[in-house]
Chains A and B, each alone.
Chain A
C-alpha cells in the first residue's frame, strides 16, 4: 500500500509542473495588468514604465515563469502586487474559511447523497425513487449563483433563519454550504444508487438472502460497503470541485475564502496572487484525486495488485 501511495505521489510531480505552467501563462495572456490598479490620477507614462520594470513585467514570459517557479520550489509564493502582502499569508488567512465551507458542503452532500442513494436503490422504481432523484437532479442543474440568491431570499429574507451573508457566526455557514452541497448530492446519490443496484444483483447477495438475513442488514452491511468504491473516487474528485465551486458562492454570500480572494485578484490582475490561488485549487484537486485513489485502493486489494503494489 505504501509503495502504491509513493508511486501515485510521484506521478503528481510532472502534473504539478504542467499545471503551474498553464496557470502562469493563462493569467499573463489575458489582457490587462495589475498596474491599472496602482496608477494614480496624475501619474505619468514614465511612472508606469518604471513600475513595469519594478515588478519585472518587462521580462519575457518564460523568464518571469522561471523566476516564479524558482521561488515556488523554496515555498515562496511571492508578494501580491496590488495587495502588497505575501501571497502565502493571504492564502493562509483565507484557506480556513474555504476549508470550513468545503468541509460542510462535502459532509452535507455525502451524507444526504449516500442516504438518498441507498433509499432510492432500496425502493427502486418506486414513486419515492423517482421523486427524490428528480428533485436532486433539479437542484444540481441550477446555476450556483442563482441557487445562492434563492437560498438567501427564502431562508434569510423570508424566514429570517440565517444571516444573509458574511462569516461572523457559524450559522452563516449553513446557506453557502447547502448551495454548494446540493450540486454534489445528486452525483453521489446517483452513483450510490447505481452501484447498490448493480451489487444487489450479485450472487453473494442472493446467498445472504437465502440465509434469511434481514433486507436492511444486507443493504447496509454488505451491499453498501461494496458500493462505496465508486463513491470514494467521486468524493476525491469532489474535494477540488467544491473548492472551485466555492468561488461564486463565496462572492454572493460575501464570505472570506480562497474563492473571494481569487475573484478580487482576477479583477485586479494581481498575477502572483491569482497564480497562488489557482495553484492551491489545483493542488486540492490533485490531492483529492489522490485521496480518492488511496481510499479505493485501501478498500479493494485488486486495485493495488493491478498497480503492481503489495
Chain B
C-alpha cells in the first residue's frame, strides 16, 4: 500500500509538472495562420443548436457561408439575386417566377435547379418557419432553371422571407438521409464554405468550397473565398471574447458587446467598423393596468424618456436615438413627424397635470392620495441594468417613481405572460421588417410578446390590412406605415435607442471598403482577405 501511495503521489507530481510544460510548449503556437481566420461570435450569437435552416429558430453568421439563398437583401432594403438570376411578380401578385443561375452545385456534387425548389418549399410544412411560405399554394417547375410560385394570396413580403437565413437552401438528398442530424453532424449547401466540424455552443469550422462561382452582386469577389479555412468560435463571456481579439487569438469579433465599445475604440491594435443597426431598444407600457389605462399617462411617460441623453451617456454616441418603433432603414419608420416620440419634459409634465397627477412634497406625483409608483422590469445583463437605472432617474425627474425588478432572461417572458404584474419594461428586439409591429402589438399575443397588452379595435383593423390585404410591396409599406402610426399615437411604448452593429478586427485581415447587406453575412465574408 505504501508503495502504491508513493507511486500515486509521484504520478500526480509528474502530471502537474507536465501541465506546466505543455503550457510552455504552447508559447509559440498561434491560433490563426495565413489563409485561416478565426471569428468570434459573442453572447447574442451563441448557442445556435443546428444549421438546419428550415427547422432552426436561431442561426448564426456561419449559416450564410454554408448555404445560399435565392435572393439577398442590402442595407437599403433592396433585393439582389444570389441563386436566382432574376424574378418577376404577376400584376395581381398571384404568381412569382424565378430564373435560376446555371451551373450551381451543392457541396456533394448534386446539381441545384428548379427541382430543388419544388422539393424545398414543402419542407417548411409543420416547422416553426412555416409562416415564411404559407402564402405559396404550389411550386411549378417551368424548366430546369425556371420555377414559378403560385400563391394562395398576394404576399409582398415574399422576397424578404426568401432573403432571411431561414430560407437558405439545403441539399435534398443529404437533408432527407440525415433527418434530424442535418445541420448538426453535417450540413450541405451551395455556399462558399463547407462545414467541416460543428460543436454546439463551441465552434464551427468551415473549409473553402473551391468550386464557388455564383456570388451575388453584393460581393466584389464572385469566385471562391479568400480564406481556405474559417473557424467561428462562440464565446458567451464578453471579457474573454475581447481578450481573444486583443491577444491575437481571434481575428474578428463578429458582434462587439456594447460595454466593450469604448475599450475597443481606444485600442490602436484593433479596428472598429459600425454598420446601421437592425435592433431597437424600447420601453413597453402595459396598457391594461392602472395608471396606464389612461392614454394621457402613457403619453406623459413616453415623452419623459430622454433618448439623446441615453445615447450619449450610455453608448458614447454609437448608434442613434429612436423615435419610432422601427429601425430607421425601414421605409415604414418614416411616419409623419407628429407621431414621433422624443423627449419633451414640458409636454410630459403638462399631461401629468392634466390627468390630475400633481407633484407631492417629495416630487413624486399624487392623485386621490395615491402616489405615482410603478413597477419597471428588465432582464439581467450589464447593459439592461444601466439602461433601466437611467430611465428610472428620467422618470423621477417628471414625478414618477419606478421600482426596478431585474429578472433572469430565461424567466422574464414567462413573467410577462402573467400579464398584469409589470407596468413598464425595458426590452430590445432585432428584426428588419415592419411586421414586428404585429408581433409586439397584436391583441392575440397579449402578455408575451405583446408586453404592452395592447388591444385596440382600430389597431387590429389596421393590422389585418397590413398583414393580409397588401397586394404589392409599396402597398404593404403604406399599410404598415399607417398601422405603425396608429400604435405610436396610442403610446403603447416609448422608443429609446437603435444600436449600431459593430465589428472589431485585428491586423491579420482586411475588410472591403463597404460592407454590403443588412449585416456581416456571406456576401461580405467573400470579400474579406488575409493581410499580406
Q: Chain A interface (Cβ within 8 Å of chain B)?
A: 30-33, 36-45, 47, 80, 82-85, 90, 93, 104, 107-108, 110-112, 114-115, 149, 152-153, 156-157, 160-174, 177, 221, 224-225, 228, 251-254, 256, 260-261, 263-264, 266-269, 299
Contacts and interface: CB of A to CB of B under 8 A. Distances in A.
B93 interface: no
Interface stretch (B74-82, B244-252, B501-509): B244-252
A107 B50 CA distance: 36
Nearest to B134: A42
Interface string B6-43: 00010011011001101111110101000000000000
A254 B246 contact: no
A162 B240 contact: no
Contact of A32 (B19, B129, B413, B431): B413
A93 B234 contact: no
Interface stretch (B104-112, B148-156, B194-202, B317-325): B194-202
Contacts of A114: 9
B241 to A, nearest CB: 8
Give the 6 A-B residue pairs with the shortest CB-CB distance, closest first: A171-B26, A31-B411, A31-B414, A42-B131, A83-B49, A174-B23
A256 B204 CA distance: 13
Given A84-B180, A157-B243, A40 B414 contact: no
B445 interface: yes
Contact of A41 (B15, B199, B436): B436
Given A83-B49, A173-B22, A107 B439 contact: no
Nearest to A110: B12
B19 A152 contact: no
Interface in B98-119: none
Given A111-B12, A164-B240, A177 B410 contact: no
Contacts of A256: 199, 201-202
Contacts of A156: 243, 247
B246 to A, nearest CB: 7
A37 B1 contact: no
B409 interface: yes
Q: Which of B23, B244, B246 has the most CB of A within 10 A?
A: B23
A45 B411 CA distance: 18
Contacts of B176: none
Contacts of A31: 408, 410-411, 414-415
Interface residues of B, number: 64
B13 to A, nearest CB: 5
B240 A254 contact: yes
Contacts of A164: 240, 243-244, 247, 249
Interface of chain A, main secondary structure: helix
A199 to B, nearest CB: 15
B2 interface: yes
A193 B493 CA distance: 63
B260 to A, nearest CB: 14
A174 B411 contact: no
A68 to B, nearest CB: 20
Interface of B: 1-2, 5, 9, 12-13, 15-16, 19-20, 22-27, 29, 31, 46-47, 49-50, 55, 57-58, 128-129, 131-132, 166, 180, 184, 199-203, 233-237, 239-241, 243-244, 246-247, 249, 408-415, 431, 435-436, 439, 444-445
B233 A254 contact: yes
A40 B131 contact: yes
A163 B237 contact: no
B240 A165 contact: yes
A172 B29 CA distance: 11
Contact of A266 (B15, B410, B413): B410
B435 A42 contact: yes
Nearest to A36: B413
Given A164-B247, A169-B26, A268-B47, A174 B16 contact: no
Contacts of B128: 38-40, 43, 47
B411 A32 contact: yes
A269 B411 CA distance: 9
Contact of B233 (A43, A85, A166, A299): A166
Contacts of B166: 40
Contact of B201 (A40, A171, A172, A260): A260
Given A39-B128, A40-B131, A157-B243, A104 B19 contact: yes
A226 to B, nearest CB: 11
A112 B233 CA distance: 34
A264 B43 CA distance: 11
Contact of A84 (B31, B47, B49): B49
A111 B9 contact: yes
A168 B414 CA distance: 38
Contact of A93 (B1, B129, B199): B199
Contacts of A36: 410, 413-414
Contacts of B16: 107-108, 111-112
Given A161-B24, A266-B410, A40 B57 contact: yes
A233 to B, nearest CB: 15
Contact of B13 (A41, A90, A111, A171): A111
A170 B444 CA distance: 53
Nearest to A253: B240
Contacts of A161: 23-24, 26-27
21 contacts: A31-B411, A31-B415, A36-B414, A40-B166, A84-B180, A85-B49, A90-B200, A108-B19, A111-B16, A157-B243, A163-B31, A163-B249, A164-B247, A164-B249, A165-B240, A166-B203, A166-B233, A167-B202, A174-B23, A254-B235, A299-B1
B12 A269 contact: no
Given A36-B410, A36-B413, A107-B19, 12 more contacts: A31-B408, A31-B414, A39-B57, A40-B128, A42-B131, A84-B50, A149-B239, A161-B27, A163-B31, A171-B29, A252-B240, A254-B237
Contacts of A160: 27, 247
Nearest to B418: A31
Nearest to A79: B180
B12 A107 contact: yes
A221 B3 CA distance: 10
Contacts of B203: 166
Contacts of A261: 201
A85 B16 CA distance: 36
Given A38-B57, A114-B9, A30 B411 contact: yes
Contact of B26 (A43, A104, A170): A170
Contact of A174 (B22, B131, B132, B412): B22
Contacts of A38: 57, 128
Contact of B23 (A162, A252, A267): A162
Given A83-B200, A164-B249, A165-B244, A32 B410 contact: yes
A41 B132 CA distance: 10
A140 B281 CA distance: 41
